[in-house]
Every structure is written in C-alpha cells, then in structure tokens.
Structure 1
Amino acid sequence: MSDESGQCKRRVYDFAREVQDTEADGIATVLEEYYHADAQWQGPAPLDELAGREEIRRDYWEPLLEAFPDLEQNDYILFGGEFRDSNWVCTAGNFVGTFANDWLDIPATGHATWIRHGTFHRFEDGKISETRLFVDILDVLRQAGYRFVPALAPEIVAPAPATTDGILLNGADATDTAQTLELVERMIFEGLESFEDEGLDGMGMEQYWHEDFMWYGPAGIGSTRGIDGFQAYHQQPFLEAFPDRKADSDDIRLAEGTYCAWTGWPSLDATHLGDGWMGLPATGKSVEMRLMDFWRREGDLLAENWVLIDMIDLLDQLGVDVFERVRNGQQHF
C-alpha cells in the first residue's frame, strides 16, 4: 500500500467521524475540508447527479442531516486501491438516526432508522473529487411503513463482516489482494455470464461461493443464505426476469486483502423479459442497473456479499414511480 493510498483511507475515515458530530448548518465547513469545490457526485434516484460541493451540500447532506439530526455513520468495510491511475476508497455500512423530519417526500416516523449505504470516493491532491454513493431509499420507505414490492427473502439490517476485519486502514498482503480480485472477476465474467448457455445448474456456483455463504441484498429483494437459498430466492427469479443482462467490464473495481468492491453507473444492461420478479409482469423494456457490490473472500471462495441496487431508478424504468405513490398517499402494492 502506498503512503498516498493510506492517507486517502484515513481521510475517508475521519470524514465519517466529523459528519456524525456535525449538524446541518455546519456541514458546509466539513465538506470544504474534504471535497474539491468542483467535485462530482452520483447517487441514487431521485438525487442522481450533483455537480460541485455546494450542490452536494444543498441537495444531499443538509436534507439528510435535517431529517436525521442525530445521524451516525457506522462503516463496517473500508479499504482502497488504485484504479486507472486514481486513488479510490470505498466504504459500506449503515447510517443510523432518528427520523425526525421528512426526507425526500418520505414522512418522518420519529423512530430510529437504519440507512444502508455504500460509497466510492476518488481522490485528487488529497481531497475527494468524485463520489459514487448508494443509500437504500427503498428500505427507508419500508421502515416508514411503505411496501410497494413483495420481497422473496427477509429484509434485514445488513451486519458487519463475520470476521469483523473490514476496516483496512493499514493495508493488506498483495498476494491476498490479487487472489480476491481474480476470483471475483472469474465469478462475474465466467460464472454469471454463462446463464444463457448453461442454465442455472451449469453456472458452477460452487467454484466461487462457500456452500453456506451470506448474500445481503437490498430492500425489495432481501437476504439469503447458502447457494440453494441464493438461487431460489434471488438468482433464479432475477435471471428469468433479465436473462440477457451483461456486466460492464469498464466498471470501477477495487480489491484489498480478502475484500473486493465493484460499482458502475450503469453496471448492467438488460431486457425485462420474464414475469414475477418483484411481483411485476414482463415489460419487454431495456433497462440499465446501477449497482454496487462488496465481497469478502474466505480461503478460495467468497463467503459474504453485500449488494446495493438503485431500486428506485430500476422500478421507475419498469413503470413503477415509487415517489408518486408516496405523494399520493399509497402505502402498499
């Protein structure tokens, strides 16, 4: 690990600590310390793209901190690496706070709320110049009593890695790093891409995953355990709905030690050809999916996978405008 990479990781770690000690009217000062003035920000619908530190403050951080005034950022994964000559740092975890004021047209509940997040930051000259961030807004809606899609598996607050070693401030072994990235790339480009030719049983999942691995999916899908549970409650319904999906080889991917992360805007192109996924009939529409994945390798296989999908954006492409339903007072599918 280079000194610069270590410094970038420490900056991200410190930024999270400062945010949770800051109220909405003080976030501008924190952002000035950590972000370039012209930084680019990409997030989930309905926020999408923000240009510059002032938009990031006005449209994301201030409304979030006003809605959750006691917000804490609890990261359980943090590592970094170089991708195409840039230093990147990625994190995953949960925000937690009291939902005291409305946010994104979601009525406040007054209750503790967990907001699952994943983030990639790109650095230039010691400050963040680009952020790609997911927060599971559909899960905030679920916790507020809105259920627009029938999940097949339990929707949970995703836990930290079972090994509790996901914060890699001091770097990791280069051989471990290379092994992890190679395994994930084989799983994506050889295993998952083989569905159309080989079918579900021929994808060779046992080459990539522990038999009892944990898959922590987003709201609307849920979380599964083991190859059998993963195939039954997520993979088979998803692949039948989107049989022609293709991963983008240009996606940002990082690995460090036994951890790997991947993101793209979009990350998958697909056609909605099958009925039933998330309770929806096939639309025949072409869609783009914004994704973010984090994996933990154990030995020669993957043991845990944290998955974030911009479900609000995907549902909108399939004809389901979640926020129009919220504004109209609809709470259930």
Structure 2
Amino acid sequence: MSIITHFYNALKGQGNLNELAMDNMRLNASYPINELHGINEVSLGYWQHLQQALPDIERKPMIEFSSDYQGAQWIAATGYFIGTFSNNLFDIPATHKTLYLRFTELVKLEQGKIADYFIILDFLDVMNQAGVNPLRKSLGHDGLIMPPSTMDGLNPVSSSTESADITEKLVMDMLDELGRFDGKSLESMQLNKFWHNDFMWYGPAGIGTTRGIKGFRKHHQGPFVFSFPDRVVDHKATIIKKGHYVATGGWPHMHGSHLSGGWLGLPPSGKNLELRVMDIWRREGNKLKENWVGIDIIHMCKQMGLDVFEMMKLSNNL
C-alpha cells in the first residue's frame, strides 16, 4: 500500500498519523476547504467533513505514480472517494445513495512523510449527483470518469527514465502549442501534432468529458480560450512522470482575465482569475491519448463574485 493509503487509514484511526505526515504538513484543497496547516487542522477541517458525510468512505485511485521533482519525492493520483452519502457535505444535501467524489492530487514527501498535499475535489459533481447544481449542464458528457484504457494506472508498464522524459517533452511541447492561440481560430493551435484523433479529455463537472480534437474544441477549448484570451500556464508547476504518464499542476497553475462570455454560460466578470488545475496525461506511441483534468471550478466562480454554494441553496430552497 502507498503512503497515501496508510495516511487515510490513519485518519480513520487505523494507524499513527505522526509516522506518516509532518507535524506542520500543509493541505491545499478545493473551495471551501482551501488551506489548512498541521495534522489537527487537516483532520478537523478536511477529513472530518468527508467522513461525516460518507461514514463508510473508501479511497479508490485509478492512477497513482511517483517520481522525484526538484530533489523531493512526489506522488500524483486521481480516482474517487466512494461511500454512502448519509449526511450533508458543505450543505450539499445527502442522497443516502452511493456517492462518487472525484479527486485529483499531488503529494510531496519530505523525510519519508507527507509535507504538502494538494487535492482538487469535484464538489460540483457532488451537486450533480444530488440534483442541486445551480450552474448550467456541462457541454461535455457528465458522469463517471474512466480509468486508463490500458488499465495500468496503478502499475505503469514502463518505468524507464527515457520513456518518462519522452512523455514529459511531449506534454510540455503541447502546452507550448496551446499558448500559440492567435485569438481568432482554434486551428492556430495544431493539436493534431500532439493528440491522437480519438483523444479523451476527462474534464471536471461543469465542463465534462470530451472526445477527439473536434469534441475538445467544441465542448471546452473554444468557450474557454475566447472567455480568457490572455490565459497563461505557469511552467514552474510541479511535474511528476513515470513511463507513459506525466502529471502537471500548481496552486495556482494558470491565470487569465475573464473578458468575454460563453464559458459555463456565465457573463464576463472582467476579473483576472487564478486557476487551480491538475492534469494527468497518458502517452500512447508518439502522441497523447488520455488526459484526466481537475479544475476547482467553484473557486473560479467565487473569484467572479459567484458563490456556487449559496446559489445552490437559493435555487433549491435548501
């Protein structure tokens, strides 16, 4: 079992947290959790909320791998917390049915213990499952996210340094290409050089899953880049790589001015927003095949002046 699995077992009382996490560990999580410091704050301000809502909660990663970055060991993972939604979660009404709480995370270890924990929890998808999402329906497909089609996310077939370096270069070159948008045509970004024709983009609730370059442009990229024309990706983001997999992310990972309408059907706020984003990419051959994306959509809306949790309560008379 990974240290993250042991960490959650310890949070449940089945182990010693002090052996797994630094006393001053930092957790950065989706809004409304945000930043917590120390094991006690993490237990009360993060885990207690999840475990109270889902008493039989279980963490089920579909991808998890580690590598060194800037002299420290990092772990990247994505999957679901699964349990019976028995009690409200941040005022999202309990359904008393099985809940799939999607997560994407980057975890930094120091001296063999968890020092920094970054996690995006898709609370908007929880609202979808409870039938109380106040935002419009996703343009892409809503629903459960698929694991890698190769089914090797927990044990990548290739772990060679050479393979990981090839994957990293492909991802970074592709991100450079995304920065070449001319402000007029989506085709100014030549994604066909980097993506398979049937590329799968597993986006968060509010955007949804898209298939192929055409689907990506129609259901996410078009509305996004025209709404945030000056968006900038922070290339200083953490990079974790193993074989055909690469994870990138930061807190924040991107900035952009919300200058036009269209994205999520929301009017432009005119504000410069920071985006908490994490990506996990899978390479197949010389192109990218799949991408699991975590974005803190609710945090973006908060910066626009929209409190999605308050909107949820008002629109559903909660």
Normalised to the residue count of structure 2, the TM-score between the two structures is: 0.94
Q: CA deviation at 1:123?
A: 0.8
1:3-43 Cα offsets, whole Å, 9 max, x none, are: xxxxxx83234445x36xx74xx27x553331111101111
Distance 1:51 1:87, change over 3 A: same
Find the residue that maps to 2:134 and give its secondary structure. Answer: coil
- After TM superposition, the structure 1 = structure 2 runs for residues 1-333 of structure 1, keeping only pairs within 5 Å, are 10-15=2-7, 18=9, 23=12, 26=13, 29-150=15-136, 151-168=138-155, 172-189=159-176, 191-196=177-182, 199-328=185-314, 330-331=315-316
Q: CA deviation at 1:61?
A: 0.8
CA–CA distance in structure 2, aligned partners of residues 324 and 30 of structure 1: 37
Q: CA deviation at 1:326?
A: 3.2
- Larger helix percent: 1
CA–CA distance in structure 1, aligned partners of residues 157 and 217 of structure 2: 36
Q: Which amino acid aligns with 1:183?
A: L
CA–CA distance in structure 2, aligned partners of residues 83 and 196 of structure 1: 33
| Maintained 8 Å contact 1:10/1:169 | no
Q: Which amino acid aligns with 2:197?
A: E
1:274-295 Cα offsets, whole Å, 9 max, x none, are: 2121111122111110001011
| Maintained 8 Å contact 2:67/2:241 | yes
Find the residue that maps to 1:132 and give its secondary structure. Answer: strand
1:245-277 Cα offsets, whole Å, 9 max, x none, are: 000111111111000101111111101112121
Q: CA deviation at 1:197?
A: 6.1
Q: Which amino acid aligns with 1:216?
A: Y
**Residues 314-323 or 294-303, more deviating:** 314-323
CA–CA distance in structure 1, aligned partners of residues 158 and 164 of structure 2: 10
Distance 1:235 1:63, change over 3 A: same
Q: CA deviation at 1:84?
A: 1.1
Q: CA deviation at 1:116?
A: 0.6
Q: CA deviation at 1:305?
A: 0.4
| Maintained 8 Å contact 1:272/1:286 | yes
Q: List alignment gaps of at least 5 residues for structure 2.
A: none
| Maintained 8 Å contact 2:202/2:208 | yes
| Maintained 8 Å contact 1:78/1:169 | no
| Maintained 8 Å contact 2:156/2:244 | no
Find the residue that maps to 1:196 and give its secondary structure. Answer: coil
CA–CA distance in structure 2, aligned partners of residues 154 and 170 of structure 1: 29
Distance 1:13 1:134, change over 3 A: same
